[in-house]
Amino acid sequence: MKHLMHRWYRSVKSIIRGLMGYVYAKHVGQRIRSLRLFTKIRTRMVLRKAHKQVPEEDQSVLLWADSKAFDRFEKLIKRARHTIIVQMFIWADDVTGKWMGQLLTEAADRGVEVHIMKETVGDVFETSRDFMSTKESDDLVWKRFWNHDKIHVAHRAHANHAKCIIIDDSVIVITGMNFANEYRFHWHDYALELCGKHFVRQYLAGMSSHDASNVQILVSNDGTPLMRKTIMHLLSLARRSIFLEQAYLSDPEILAALIQASHKKIDVTLILPQNPDVHFNANMESVRQLLLQGSKKRMRVLLYPGMVHGKIILVDHMHALIGSTNLIPSSLDSVGEACVLISKKPLRPLITLRRILLKDLVKSKYIEKPPHFSFLRKMLAWGQL
C-alpha cells in the first residue's frame, strides 16, 4: 500500500511539473528565447578556431533503428574523450533510463564533461518513473550520477521536443527516441548519426544549415513554423511517390497536401501504428479523410503491429526527412524540434531506410475501408486523442 501511494504521489508530482512547464514555456518562452540551451557550451564551441570542412568522402551519415540505436548510443558514449551533450524530452527511471545514467557516469569517471538538458514538459509523460525524482533516490547508480562533479543537469521549460546526443565536437545523433524501455525494447523508431565538426557546430549554434553533401540539419526553437514550411516544400517535390511512417498525424494542411498529391498520380503510402500510446482516434480520423478524399488507386494506408514512433517522410525514394517532428500543428509550428533532411546523397542512409520501410510494409496490414466514427470517437479525435 505504501509503495502504491508513493507511486501515485510521484506520478501526480511529475504530471503537475510537466504541465506547469508547458504553460510556462508556451506563454513566457518567447521572452526568453535568447537564453539558448547550453549557452556557454554553444558560445565556446562556435567561437573556436574554424576547422576546415570535412571532405564529403570522409563524412559519415548512418541510420539506426530500434535497439540497434541504443547499442550505438552505448558505443559512442564509451568513445567520448572530453564532452558529451544530451538533450532529452523524456528520461524514465526504468532499466533503460538507469543504464544511460550509468554509461554517462562512467564517462564522467574518465574525465568527460557531461552536460544534460532535460525538458520539463516531458515530465508529464514519465509519471511514476520521472527522471527528476531520481535525485532523491537511494539507488547507487542515481546517487553517483547526481553527485558527480563532471555531470551538469539543466531542467528547464523550453517546450523543446528535440532529442540529440553530441559526442565531443565531432558526432551528433538526432533522433525521435527518448531514454525509456519502450523506445529501446518495444517501439519502432530511428536515430540518425552525423559525423563532422560542422554538423555539431551548426546544431549548437541553433542554425539550420545546408552543406555540399545534401544533408541539412533543421532546428526549430524560435517559434517559427520552419518544420511546416520544410515539409510542405518536400511534399511539393514529389513526382512519383510519397512514403510516410508516422506516429501521430492530424494536421489539416498536411492531409490536404497528401490528398492533392494522390490526385496528381503520385503514389501515397502511409504507415501508422496499430497501437499508439495516444492519438489513436485522431490518427483514424485522418485515415478516414485520406481514404474518402484521396485517389482510390494512389492512396494506401497501413497499420503497423504495435507502436511506430518514427517520424519518416520519403519522397521519390531520394529525399528523406528524419527526426523528432510529428505531423500535428504544435510540432509543426511552435514546439522546438530537430530533423535532418537528406536529398539524393549520401545514399547509404537512404538505402538503409528503404530496406527498413520495405520490411515494415510486409509486417503491416492495409486499411481497406474508411473507419466508422461514432460521436464519442469524433470528440476524442477533436481532442487529439
Q: What is the pLDDT of residues 268-300, one digit of tens each?
A: 999 999 988 778 889 999 999 999 999 999 999
Cβ contact 234:341 at 8 Å: yes
CA proximity to 355, closest of 57, 60, 75, 64: 64
Q: What is the pLDDT of residues 125-135, one digit of tens each?
A: 877 789 999 99
Classify the C-alpha dihedral 116-117-122-124 as positive or negative.
Answer: positive
DSSP-based three-state secondary structure for 155: strand
What pLDDT does 44 receive?
Answer: 46
> Which range, 48-52, 189-193, 223-227, 329-333, is most confident?
189-193
DSSP-based three-state secondary structure for 326: coil
pLDDT-derived band at 203 (thresholds 50, 70, 90) equals confident
For residues 162-188, give the mean pLDDT: 95
More confident residue, 378 or 351: 351
pLDDT-derived band at 16 (thresholds 50, 70, 90) equals low
**Domains of the chain and any CATH numbers:** 2-26+38-205 (3.30.870.10), 222-382 (3.30.870.10)
Furthest-apart CA atoms within the chain: distance in Å: 62
What pLDDT does 39 receive?
Answer: 44
pLDDT of 52 over the 50 cut:
no
More confident residue, 49 or 220: 220
What pLDDT does 214 receive?
Answer: 86
What pLDDT does 205 receive?
Answer: 79
Cβ contact 38:115 at 8 Å: yes
pLDDT of 15 over the 60 cut:
no
Helices (H), 205-314: 226-236, 252-263, 280-293
What's the 3-state SS for 331-370? Answer: HHHCCEEEEEEEECECHHHHHHHHHHHHHHHHHCEECCCC
What pLDDT does 102 receive?
Answer: 97
More confident residue, 28 or 331: 331
pLDDT-derived band at 27 (thresholds 50, 70, 90) equals very low
How does the average pLDDT of the chain come out, rounded?
Answer: 84
Dist CA 377 CA 185 (whole Å): 30
> Which range, 40-49, 157-166, 255-264, is most confident?
255-264
pLDDT of 31 over the 50 cut:
no
What pLDDT does 51 receive?
Answer: 39
> Which range, 38-47, 70-79, 197-206, is most confident?
70-79
What pLDDT does 57 receive?
Answer: 38
Percent of the chain with pLDDT over 90: 63
pLDDT of 4 over the 70 cut:
no
Strands 151-156 and 113-119 come out as: parallel
Cβ contact 190:312 at 8 Å: yes
More confident residue, 44 or 230: 230
Cell of 219: 532546428
